[in-house]
């Protein structure tokens, strides 16, 4: 009976505390301010503790912030958990998906990274960051045809972006389109004179 009373008391206290923070945005704002200060000082664990003290499972902002801080603290599994909660709360927001890519990349969970980029592009098909990095994943897997499609989107949106141009050049070369690749390698040399990657690519084209 004493144990039951203690559990009920703790549950009541937790509910009361939750209501206090829900009704007092100043407390949440103060916790964020302190967490920013700790983050700037490189004290990620203390920053996490500040936000956990005002944590609400249904708060997108808190979950996303905790996802970032846990990533910085190299608590990758916990970071992913918070980002997953953010994504569940706001499925059409892409920032939490981009955030989740970081701890997943640290764990080398490339299939899950790829899945997030695919979902981002369903929401925002013209997103150059997602197009570029999904293209890199396809390129590294030697799926050059799909890599070309994604790098072409990036180059069409940002023709002067060296990274997209050089990756499209190599993807074109690996799909046997040497003439296109030559034009792109030369364009890369305009964007980055004497670029070793572009010069190496041109040497392979007869």
Residue 96 has pLDDT above 60, yes or no: yes
Question: Which pLDDT belongs to residue 25?
Answer: 80
pTM over 0.75: yes
- CATH top class, domain 143-206: mainly alpha
CATH 3.20.20.80 fits 1-124, yes or no: no
Contacts 24+ apart (CB under 8 A), 24-32: 27/54, 28/54, 28/62, 32/65
Question: Which pLDDT belongs to residue 191?
Answer: 98
Enumerate the domain spans of the chain. Answer: 1-124, 143-206
Give all strands (DSSP E) within the chain, no chain letters. none
| Averaged pLDDT for residues 93-120 | 97
Give dist(CA 171, CA 157) in Å, integer. 18
Question: Which pLDDT belongs to residue 178?
Answer: 96
Place of tokens 């200060």: 37
Give the number of other Cβ atoms within 10 Å of residue 59's Cβ. Answer: 19
């Amino acid at each position: 009976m004493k144990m039951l009373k203690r559990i009920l008391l703790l549950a009541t206290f937790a509910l009361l505390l939750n209501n206090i923070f829900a009704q007092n945005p100043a407390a949440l704002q103060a916790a964020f301010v302190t967490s920013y200060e700790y983050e700037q000082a490189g004290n990620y664990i203390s920053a996490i503790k500040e936000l956990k003290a005002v944590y609400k499972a249904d708060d997108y902002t808190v979950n996303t912030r905790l996802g970032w801080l846990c990533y910085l603290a190299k608590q990758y599994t916990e970071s992913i958990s918070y980002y997953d909660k953010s994504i569940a709360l706001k499925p059409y927001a892409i920032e939490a998906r981009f955030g989740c890519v970081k701890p997943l990349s640290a764990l080398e969970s490339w299939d899950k990274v790829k899945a997030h980029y695919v979902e981002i592009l369903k929401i925002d098909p013209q997103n150059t960051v997602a197009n570029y990095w999904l293209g890199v994943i396809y390129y590294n897997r030697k799926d050059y045809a799909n890599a070309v499609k994604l790098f072409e989107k990036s180059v069409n949106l940002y023709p002067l972006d060296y990274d997209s141009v050089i990756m499209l050049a190599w993807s074109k070369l690996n799909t046997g389109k040497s003439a296109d690749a030559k034009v792109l390698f030369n364009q890369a040399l305009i964007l980055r004179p004497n670029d070793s990657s572009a010069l190496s690519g041109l040497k392979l084209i007869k």
